[in-house]
Structure 1
């Protein structure tokens, strides 16, 4: 009789655990030293995993960073939260929910965003990945704005609203207000939500 196993095998679970251990070590080093200064050897030492195993699991440093990005985004369930905000019958409340999601994203992955920005300058693989992510992100923003288009402020086109939206959620603004000026995340979220509503709905 053949027994069909459900879920990953023991070896597969070990491989997944190893990749997670590598990703966690790399994320800590990227945040501390930066992308360029972090070597595979340093990641191996921090993770306590042999260098050949890291190359076998990922292939290169860019693949490790892409894996970190995917792991963080998966914890946020961004697509589902965007859908819920877009489907809210109250456009102002939907925009405020988006402000909350943006705050969550910055809190969860600002360090990864910073490292990715650095990596783009030296790694074409990461540059391509970031272009893909940003294009997907912009499509999500546009879908939301198109859904509330009848409620936009007089004279405001979907393209205008999208430009404002993208500008308001720039990481540089979060960095300035929260990390440099000392705003609390709650205050940042309230400021972003108020600007969404005022700038887009009028």
Structure 2
């Protein structure tokens, strides 16, 4: 009985992964709004009722995609390591690496979220929560290096600078539109954070 239950759980997880993969490709290719559950069902080769049963709707699928990637990145631990660096410059370089990894692995999902938030109140609420969590993490970092901030840069200024430099639109401009490598973006971001925040 235990074996059967474990097998069913693995099958359910595999089905969800298949749905999420198909949905991610469709969301990125034709947009969140234009993608229907029927289209996801056809692409994933899984009946639409199964998709509704597994997730409930498009918003839940998008959340599952985002959380699945976020889990592999282990962002919270990475931020703690950045905060623990004795040299604030090294901590900011770690922060730049965190942003690079996030954008490298899930920029398409961030872009989908931004589109979806314009029409889906649940996703819009998610976006506000995500933005608040990001700002809280950045504020913790700036507060941790407050004694090292450049003259005239308050904690609030530091948070505003940090938030601006790590905007997804900046990554899009430099990497996707201008052809920078992710490594070049990371180095630029690290240098920009250090130059703007520290003496």
Q: Is TM (by shorter chain) over 0.5?
A: yes
Tell me how far apart the structure 1 counterparts of residues 11 and 183 of structure 2 sit (CA, whole Å): 39
| TM-score (ref. length: structure 2) | 0.96
Partner of 1:154 in structure 2?
151
Equivalences for 1:105-116 in 2 at 5 Å? 105-116=102-113
Residue 157 of structure 1 and its aligned partner are, at CA, apart by 0.9
Tell me how far apart the structure 1 counterparts of residues 115 and 173 of structure 2 sit (CA, whole Å): 18
Partner of 2:76 in structure 1?
79
Partner of 1:26 in structure 2?
23
Consecutive unaligned residues in structure 2, runs of 5 or more: none
Of residues 94, 97, 102, the one that matches 2:94 is 97
Tell me how far apart the structure 2 counterparts of residues 129 and 176 of structure 1 sit (CA, whole Å): 24
Q: Does 2:154 match 1:141?
A: no
| TM-score (ref. length: structure 1) | 0.95
Tell me how far apart the structure 2 counterparts of residues 146 and 186 of structure 1 sit (CA, whole Å): 27
Q: Does 2:67 match 1:70?
A: yes
Partner of 1:41 in structure 2?
38
Tell me how far apart the structure 1 counterparts of residues 125 and 178 of structure 2 sit (CA, whole Å): 33
Instruction: Provide Cα deviations, 1:43-81, integer angstroms capped at 9, x if missing partner.
Output: 001111000000000111111001111011111110000
Q: Does 2:153 match 1:178?
A: no
Residue 12 of structure 1 and its aligned partner are, at CA, apart by 1.5
Residue 14 of structure 1 and its aligned partner are, at CA, apart by 1.3
Of residues 53, 56, 60, the one that matches 1:56 is 53
Q: Is the partner of 1:9 in helix, strand or coil?
A: helix
How many residue pairs get aligned? The number is 198
What is the root-mean-square deviation in Å for CA atoms of aligned residues? 1.4
Instruction: Provide Cα deviations, 1:137-194, integer angstroms capped at 9, x if missing partner.
Output: 1111111111111011112111100000000001111111111111111111111000
Residue 10 of structure 1 and its aligned partner are, at CA, apart by 1.7
Tell me how far apart the structure 1 counterparts of residues 66 and 127 of structure 2 sit (CA, whole Å): 10
Moved over 2 A (4+): none
